Amino acid sequence: MTTPAPQPAAPQPAPPLTEAEDKQWASFAHFGGVLGILPSLIIWLVFKDRGAKTNVEGKEALNFQITLVIAWVALFIITAILTAVTFGIFGLIAWVLYLAIFAVQVIFSILGGVKVNGGESYRYPFALRLIK
């Protein structure tokens, strides 16, 4: 007679973050914005159920990064259209707008990370709150 194969054990939920770890991952979610949307997204998805501060700050950082992605795409479309219409003239000045969006991304991400690392909460001055 054959014996049935044992059932694999159910995965155990990850333990909650300590207060120091929660603050650390929350600040990393903001600092990661310097690299783009992926660090904030990954941190929020992995740690949202393990730490309250990481959940709140991760959502805030992710919403800001989503807003910037929308701005990048909109600027790309506008640049393509206006460059064609102006026979390339707008393309010569569009790089200033790209640089401005990048500067905003870096500066506000660092400000958010520093503020959260200091124990406070940070709310970006402009961001679409798509993730509630």
What pLDDT score was predicted for residue 26?
95
pLDDT in tens, the chain (132 residues): 577 777 777 777 788 888 899 999 999 999 999 999 999 999 999 999 998 999 999 999 999 999 999 999 999 999 999 999 988 888 888 999 999 999 999 999 999 999 999 989 999 998 889 888
Predicted TM-score of the model (pTM): 0.85
Half-sphere exposure of 104 (CA within 13 A, CB side): 17
Q: Which two tokens stand for residue 122?
A: 């940070």
* CA nearest to 65, candidates 103, 109, 110: 109
The DSSP secondary-structure symbol of 18 reads: P
What pLDDT score was predicted for residue 18?
85
What pLDDT score was predicted for residue 102?
96
DSSP H helices in the chain: 19-31, 37-47, 52-85, 89-117
What pLDDT score was predicted for residue 1?
59
What pLDDT score was predicted for residue 35?
94
What pLDDT score was predicted for residue 10?
73
What pLDDT score was predicted for residue 17?
83
What pLDDT score was predicted for residue 71?
96
Q: Where are the domains of the chain?
A: 19-117
